[in-house]
Structures are given as C-alpha cells and as structure tokens.
Amino acid sequence: MDPVISLSIGGLVAVGVYMFLAHDLPRVLIGFVLFGSAVNLTIFASGRLGATLPPFVAPGADALAAGTSNPLPQALILTAIVIGFGLTVFALMLVVRANREFSSVDAADLNAAETPIDTAKSPIPPPAPLAKKAA
C-alpha cells in the first residue's frame, strides 16, 4: 500500500505544481490548493498509515490502546487545513482586488510593484573616472 500512496501523493504534487505555474491567477490559486492538500497528506502519511482506530483514549483507560492511529500528525494538519483555507481565501481576494485594479487576472499584467528591468536602458550609469585633481 505504501508505494502506491507515495506515488499518488507525488502525482497530486505534480498536478498542483503544474497548475501553480499557469499564467492566469485563478488557475494559480487552484494549484495552490492542490499543492497545500498534497503537503498535508505527506505529513499525515509520514506518521504511518497502518492503524484505523481513531486516537481516543477509551473511557476509564489511562493510555491509548495499541492499534490506534498516530495523533501527532493529525494535530499538525488540522490547524494547517484551517490556515490553508484562510490563506487561500486571502489569495483569492488579492486576485479579486487585482482584477478590480487592473482588469486582468494574468500574472504577467500585474507588474505595477515590480517593473521588469529594461535591458536596453541600464538604470545604473557607469562610473565616471575619479577626478585627478581633488576639489
């Protein structure tokens, strides 16, 4: 079972990254969600997948019975899922807002903050030689 699960999660990562690299931001967003899910699954699987019983201590017992699943990765990804949701919606709002400002959802059009350098015209003038005679 483990090899199949590893390959499946690898496949989900691949699709996520592929979508992540798209031009239009809604697809980028979907890639972000897929990639996030794949990461959660990776953490979950790293805690081993043998057991099927949920990690609850039976009433009256002191400790978890043998054969219950690993609680630690569950605690880690539970919050990760909720935070991932919050960040996804935040990113979505950025896209919505960007569409309002620029009327485009193509990442290449949203360059107001970071104007690509014009390679023909160097922004830094070459240094002039130091004046021989000091002022």
Partner 1 sequence: MSASLILRVSAPMLLWLPLAASLYVLLRGHNEPGGGFIGGLLAGVGLIFHAIAFGAAPTRKLLRLAPTSYCAIGVLLAAASGIPALFGAGPYLTHLWWFPDVGIVLPLGTTILFDAGVYITVVGTVATLFLSLMEEETL
Partner 2 sequence: MFSPVWFILIGTAATLAATRIPRAVVAPFGAASALALFAMALGYVGTIGDGGAITAPFWSVPSLGIAGGLRVDGLSLVFLLLIAGIGALIFIYAHAYLAGDPRLRRLVVVLILFMTAMVGAVTADDIVVLFVFWELTSLASFFLVGYDHENPAARRAALQALLVTGAGGLALLGGLIPIALAAETTSLSGILAAREAVLAHPAAIPAMLLVIAGCFAKSAQVPLHFWLPNAMAAPTPVSAYLHSATMVKLGVYLLARFNPLYQDEALWQSILAGFGIATAATGMAMAFRETDLKRVLAQTTVAALGTLVMLIGIAPDLSIAAAVTFLIVHAFYKAALFMVAGIVDHETGLRDASALRGLARAMPLTALAATLAAFSMSGLPPFVGFVAKELIYEAKLDLGPGSVALLGLGFFVNAATVAIAAIMSYRLFFGAPTPTPNKPHDPPAAMLVGPIILAVLGLIAGLLPALLGGAFVEPAAAAILGRPIAVPLKLWHGFNTVLLLSAATIVVGVALYLAWGRLVPRFKALRVVDRFAPAAAYERGLAALIALAETCTRNIQHGSLRGYLRTMFLVLAVATLATLILRGGAAWPAANDLTDPRLLLFAAMLIGAAATAMARTAIAAVLALGLVGFSIALIFLTFGAPDVAFTQFSVETLMVAILAAALLRLPLRRTDTRTAREKLGDAGVALIAGIAVALVLASVLATPFDPRLSLWFGENSAAAANGRNVVNVILVDFRALDTLGEITVLAIAAFAVAALLRKGAAK
Give SS3 for 101.
Answer: helix
- With tokens 């950025």, the residue in question is 94
Does position 83 interact with partner 2 (CB under 8 A)? The reply is yes
Does position 99 interact with partner 1 (CB under 8 A)? The reply is yes
Residue 75 C-alpha from the chain's centroid: 19
* Cβ closest to partner 1, residue 47 vs residue 55: 55
CB atoms within 10 A of CB 24: 14
Using CB under 8 A, which of the segments 37-45, 65-73, 95-103, 110-118 binds partner 1? 95-103
Contacts of 6 (CB under 8 A, 6+ apart): 45
Does position 89 interact with partner 1 (CB under 8 A)? The reply is yes
Q: How far is the CB of 75 from partner 1 (least distance, A)?
A: 10
Contact between 29 and 92 (Cβ < 8 Å): yes
Does position 86 interact with partner 1 (CB under 8 A)? The reply is yes
Contacts of 48 (CB under 8 A, 6+ apart): 70
Does position 52 interact with partner 1 (CB under 8 A)? The reply is no
Does position 102 interact with partner 2 (CB under 8 A)? The reply is no
Query: Which residues are at the interface with partner 1 (CB under 8 A)?
Result: 54, 56, 78-79, 82, 86, 89-90, 92-93, 96, 99-100
